């Protein structure tokens, strides 16, 4: 069978993934207009804050043929083939239309000068335009419109939101919720213009955008205008080839996702299923799975979808589930605290019909599965303690709407497949892998199913890392042998040895290669350098804040030249030297140390870098000295051993050139001081950091970071990044504030002292190694021939530098 998929968005991706999972052995060709495969549109905004296009892009399943940057211009149903703009043709036995939707741009004068917020290329264009702009306007106050406004704000623009409805997010909240939401957004400095339309996009004499005029004649000055006023299904191919389409657009499909031609299916935002076009990822995924099942001869059917949503926009939690009306309702509103909750219930006060949450969405996970079912408790109680009700969910209650996973699916995974943790549930069921809002529910279902998740670090210790940390701290233990003799058993393993080594280094700040500690380290820490795939090592000297003198640059260049190393500027504003053989490391370090460099700890679970922009010293937008602060922070926290690596950044203004909100702790300058963000990270699972405190003085900032880092070091699990640690805290960000800013546990003095000890006792590991002949004895390729280099290490030349040649 030959299947052709037109359009390569998330729905097409889910279709081909489902086919592959079902063992389809025919040919599948996916034709997409964009220059890349499908990517994660749920987290598209993170692209503007440092997440790369590659990180967002989904992997193409094995065996799938892709034709990218190719537009299909016609469907020849009689000949069963599609025609492309380059003159080519692709035959099919089954055609799947996954053409998605297009942004709606109202037909007003000047609209051609505005942007839309849909693709990575759209965001690239907005980023370029924002460089020369001061203010921006987003037309549309729905979910995507608020994301677009947040993006403009993050790019340094003063942003306005224009919404035709009387309040923001009219599909998700009612007037009361809209009022509370408006207050939140205006407090962030954004302008909200609800109940207003657009008359024209105004341009100046130079043809550039100058503003947006509202129907009442008011001009909002702006150099960037973005339309995010809804979507329209892309059904033009279906119309042209005679398939049935809806009166208001959309390709008509039945419950099997078949169009009026049984050989043609339609899935995603282009499909009109049951008279409705769905614009959420969950229903679109389900459509794709149904179509794939039918192509394979199955009987799956699409019978509508749960349109519930839980979001965090501009730092504000918003959730809506079920219906937005009912015979009775129970409302809680706190305009001072910015919280609005409302439940809709049946006229006999027994059945939950729906609900709205703004400012506090904690009841959402527990209550959404009970829509259409009998209330498990009094409605007023559910608004504040609804989480407990989730423990008795019926099997048919949907837990993950993104991937259509019910409570029974999760219980089956726990019972039949031995799943004992949230990652296991995700791997077996896909629940929690898209937007993540159902993760709290997954934890509750695990607990209710009687799963006792072991907290033991490994088979040699019955304690968690945090518990071992306290044992070492309270009892003054200084060696692994003492710890395992008194509180463990056996000889240890490659899990507990590095973890305990990190704890000992965090508490006592001794050299990692001192005494028995040397045997505890993993490969990188054992040689104070990062091992590469050909057995050589990379050397990364510390360059605090990215600031470096010409003389030091010359030294790095001379070292790289003399030792024949590959040089690469890293994303953390440092220079990485690759290709050093193990016996060369001490001499390379000696040259660098003599020039004033020290270890950058690129090999350790420790602070890596504090990145910075040039700040107020040079930049016309800078409001604080970001370089000076970055250097001070990097020198303060250098060498701090922690459960996982730590990255930081300091931006000198809201334009955020240092990308501080993608770091474990990031700082953004304000006119009044510094805003501190925590719990962010990039990489495989990007996460924006959360705002912990704002307008701090430098002294307040450093004290708060000290306590944040030490509390993390003390309580996090092994190899747990700050993002996952923050999400796992019972009470989250509010609890963290209580502990480190309000001293609710009475430990702040202890945390301060612990950081003070670290700062006072820091010593450079490279220099300490060079001063110790015993430690230097480790750095040889062959113990019985210290001066002989490893002959298996071979290099070739590429772009004027070395590259490793691997043995075949």
> Per-residue pLDDT tens for 358-394?
988 778 877 887 888 888 777 777 776 444 444 467 7
Nearest of 574, 677, 572 to residue 669 by alpha carbon: 677
Domain 604-776 has CATH 3.30.413.10: yes
What's the CA gap between 692 and 41, in Å, rounded?
Answer: 27
Q: What is the CATH number of domain 527-603+778-808?
A: 3.90.480.10
Q: What is the mean pLDDT of the chain?
A: 88
Distances (CA, A) of 749 to 121, 706, 721, 752, 755: 50, 11, 24, 5, 10
Burial class (CB in 10 A: 0-12, 13-18, 19+), 724: middle
Q: What is the pLDDT of residues 180-208, one digit of tens each?
A: 999 888 888 889 999 999 999 999 988 89
Token reading at 513: 């290669």
Beta strands in 181-315 (DSSP E): 191-194, 200-203, 209-213, 219-221, 224-227, 231-233, 251-253, 264-266, 271-273, 309-313
What would the pLDDT profile of 125-177 be if each residue is shown by its tens digit? 999 999 889 999 999 998 889 989 988 988 889 999 999 999 999 988 999 99
DSSP for 253-290, please give it: E-TT-B-SSTTEEE-GGGEEETTB---SHHHHHHHHHH
657 labelled binding-site residue: yes
Q: In 3-state terms, the chain is what percent helix, strand and coil (to 5)? A: 35, 25, 40
Q: What are the backbone angles phi and psi of residue 297, rounded to the nearest 5°?
A: 90, 15
Tokens 């470096």 locate to: 548
Interatomic CA distance for residues 99 and 32, integer angstroms: 9
Query: What residues contact residue 114 under an 8 Å CB cut-off, 6+ apart?
Result: 105, 139, 201, 209, 225, 226, 227
**C-alpha 740: how far from its chain's center?**
25
**Domain pair 2-101+232-295 / 306-388, same fold:** no
Distance CA 200, CA 775 (A): 72
- What is 460-507 written as a DSSP string? TBSS-HHHHHHHHHHHT---HHHHHHHH--SS--TTHHHHHHHHHHHH
First to last CA, the chain: 38
Q: What does the pLDDT average to over 571-576?
A: 90
Whole-number pLDDT of residue 384: 65
User: Which one is the CATH code of 111-229: 3.40.50.920, 1.25.40.20, 3.50.50.60, 3.30.56.10?
Assistant: 3.50.50.60
Contacts of residue 266, defined as CB under 8 A and 6 or more positions apart, other chains included, come to 96, 97, 98, 238, 251, 253, 257, 259
Within 8 A by CB and 6+ apart from 698, the residues are: 629, 673, 674
Instruction: Assess whether pLDDT exceeds 70 at residue 453.
Output: no
Q: For 211, phi and psi rounded to 5 degrees?
A: 165, -175
Assign 332 to helix, strand or coil.
strand
Mind listing the pLDDT tens digit for each residue in 491-524?
A: 787 778 888 988 998 888 888 888 777 777 766 7
| Percent of the residues in the chain that have a pLDDT greater than 90, as a whole number | 57
CB 627 within 8 A of CB 636: no
Structure-block tokens of residue 168: 């923001």
Determine the Cα–Cα distance for residues 399 and 439; give it in Å rounded to an integer. 9
Do 389 and 382 touch, CB atoms closer than 8 A? yes
| Superfamily of domain 2-101+232-295, CATH level 4 | FAD/NAD(P)-binding domain (3.50.50.60)
Q: How far is CA 723 from CA 48, 633, 662, 737, 741, in A?
A: 19, 20, 10, 15, 19
pLDDT tens digits, one per residue of 12-49: 999 999 999 899 999 999 999 999 999 988 888 878 86
The residue-averaged pLDDT of 553-577 equals 93
Least confident of 218-227, 674-683, 780-789: 780-789
Average pLDDT over residues 570-597: 93
Q: What are phi and psi of 555, to 5 degrees?
A: -60, -45
Cα 112 from chain centroid (whole Å): 32
- The residue whose two tokens read 């799947």 is 96
Note if the pTM is more than 0.95: no
Nearest CA-CA partner of 186 in 206, 167, 171: 167
| pLDDT of 385 | 45
Produce one character per residue of 608-630: b if its CB has 16 or more CB atoms within 10 Å, e if not: bbbbbbbbbeeeeebbbbbbbbb
Question: Tell me, what DSSP letter sits at residue 344?
Answer: E
**For helices 550-563 and 585-594, angle between their N-to-C axes, nearest 10 degrees:** 160
Residue 436 pLDDT: 64
Label residue 442 by pLDDT band (50, 70, 90): confident
Residue 307 pLDDT: 78
Rounded CA-CA distance 343/325 in Å is 9
pLDDT in the model for residue 387:
42
Instruction: Assign domain 306-388 to its CATH architecture.
Output: 2-Layer Sandwich (3.30)
Cα-trace Rg, the chain: 29
Sketch the domain layout of the chain as residue ranges. 2-101+232-295, 111-229, 306-388, 393-452, 465-526, 527-603+778-808, 604-776
- Residue-wise pLDDT tens digits, 277-322: 998 888 999 999 999 999 999 999 998 887 777 776 776 888 888 8
pLDDT digits (tens, 9 = 90+) for 201-235: 999 988 899 999 999 999 999 999 999 988 999 99
CATH code reported for the domain at 393-452: 1.10.10.1100
pLDDT tens for 333-368 read 887 778 899 999 998 888 999 999 998 877 887 788
Q: Which residue, 269, 276, 266, is CA-closest to 304?
A: 276
Measured CA to CA, the distance from residue 177 to residue 191 in angstroms comes to 18
619 annotated ligand-binding residue: yes
């Amino acid at each position: 069978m030959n299947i052709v998929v037109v359009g390569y968005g998330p729905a097409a991706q889910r279709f081909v993934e489902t086919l592959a999972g079902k063992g389809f052995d025919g040919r599948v060709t996916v034709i997409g207009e964009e220059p890349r495969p499908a990517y994660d549109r749920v987290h598209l905004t993170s692209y503007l804050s440092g997440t790369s296009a590659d990180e967002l892009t989904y992997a193409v399943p094995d065996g799938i043929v892709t034709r990218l940057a190719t537009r299909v211009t016609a469907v020849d149903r009689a000949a069963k083939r599609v025609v492309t703009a380059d003159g080519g043709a692709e035959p099919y036995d089954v055609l799947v239309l996954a053409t998605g939707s297009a942004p709606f741009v109202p037909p007003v004068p000047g609209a051609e000068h505005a942007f839309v917020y849909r693709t990575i290329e759209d965001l690239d264009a907005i980023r370029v335009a924002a460089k020369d702009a001061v203010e921006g306007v987003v037309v549309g106050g729905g979910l995507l419109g608020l994301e677009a406004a947040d993006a403009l704000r993050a790019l340094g623009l003063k942003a306005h939101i224009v919404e035709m409805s009387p309040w923001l997010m009219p599909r998700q909240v009612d007037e009361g919720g809209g009022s509370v939401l408006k207050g939140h957004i205006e407090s962030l400095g954004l302008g909200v213009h609800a109940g207003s339309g657009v008359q024209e996009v105004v341009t100046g004499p130079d043809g550039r955008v100058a503003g947006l005029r509202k129907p009442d004649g008011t001009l909002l000055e702006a150099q960037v205008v973005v339309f995010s006023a809804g979507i329209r299904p892309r059904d033009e191919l279906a119309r042209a080839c005679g398939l049935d389409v809806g009166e208001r657009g959309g390709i008509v499909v039945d419950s099997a996702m078949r169009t009026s031609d049984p050989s043609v299916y339609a899935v995603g935002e282009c499909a009109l299923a049951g008279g409705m076009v769905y614009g959420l990822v969950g229903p679109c995924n389900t459509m794709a799975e149904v179509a794939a099942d039918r192509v394979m001869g199955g009987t799956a059917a699409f019978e509508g979808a749960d349109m519930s949503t839980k979001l965090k926009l501009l730092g504000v939690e918003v959730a809506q589930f079920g219906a937005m009306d009912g015979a009775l309702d129970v409302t809680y509103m706190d305009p001072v605290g910015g919280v609005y909750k409302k439940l809709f219930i049946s006229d006999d006060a027994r059945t939950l019909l729906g609900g709205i949450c703004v400012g506090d969405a904690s009841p959402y996970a527990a209550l959404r599965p009970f829509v259409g079912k009998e209330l498990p408790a009094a409605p007023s109680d559910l608004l504040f303690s609804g989480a407990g009700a989730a423990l008795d969910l019926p099997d048919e209650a949907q837990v993950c709407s993104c991937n259509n996973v019910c409570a029974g699916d999760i219980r089956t995974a726990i019972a039949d497949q031995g799943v004992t943790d949230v990652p296991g549930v995700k791997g077996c069921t896909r629940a929690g892998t898209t937007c993540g809002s159902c993760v709290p529910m997954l934890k509750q279902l695990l607990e209710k199913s009687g799963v006792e998740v072991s907290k033991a670090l490994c088979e040699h210790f019955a304690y968690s890392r945090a518990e071992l940390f306290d044992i070492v701290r309270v009892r003054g233990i200084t060696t692994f042998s003492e710890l395992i003799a008194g509180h463990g058993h056996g000889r240890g393993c490659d899990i507990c040895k590095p973890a305990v080594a990190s704890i000992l280094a965090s508490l006592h700040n001794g050299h990692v290669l001192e005494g028995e500690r040397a045997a505890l380290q993993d490969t990188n820490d054992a040689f104070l350098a990062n091992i590469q795939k050909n057995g050589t090592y990379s050397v990364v000297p510390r360059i605090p804040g990215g600031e470096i003198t010409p003389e030091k640059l010359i030294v790095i260049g001379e070292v790289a030249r003399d030792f024949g190393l590959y040089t690469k500027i890293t994303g953390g504003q440092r220079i990485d030297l690759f290709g050093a053989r193990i016996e060369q490391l001490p001499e390379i370090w000696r040259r660098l140390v003599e020039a004033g460099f020290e270890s950058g700890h690129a090999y350790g679970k420790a602070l890596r870098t504090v990145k910075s922009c040039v700040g107020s010293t040079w930049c016309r937008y800078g409001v604080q000295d970001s370089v000076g602060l970055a250097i001070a922070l990097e020198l303060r926290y250098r060498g701090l051993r922690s459960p996982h690596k730590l990255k930081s950044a300091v931006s000198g203004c809201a334009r955020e050139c240092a990308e501080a909100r993608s770091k474990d702790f990031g700082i953004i300058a304000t006119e009044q001081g510094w805003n501190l963000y925590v719990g962010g990270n990039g990489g495989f699972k990007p996460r924006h950091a959360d705002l912990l405190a704002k307008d701090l003085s430098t002294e307040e900032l450093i004290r708060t970071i000290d306590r944040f880092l030490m509390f993390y070091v003390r309580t996090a699990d092994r190899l747990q990044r700050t993002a996952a640690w923050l999400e796992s805290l019972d009470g989250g960000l509010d609890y963290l504030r209580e502990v480190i800013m309000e001293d609710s546990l009475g430990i702040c003095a202890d945390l301060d002292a612990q950081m003070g000890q670290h700062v006072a006792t820091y010593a450079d590991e490279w220099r300490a190694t060079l001063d110790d002949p015993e430690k230097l004895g480790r750095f040889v390729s062959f113990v019985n021939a210290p001066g002989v280099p490893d002959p298996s290490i071979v290099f070739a030349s590429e772009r004027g530098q070395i590259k490793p040649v691997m043995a075949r």
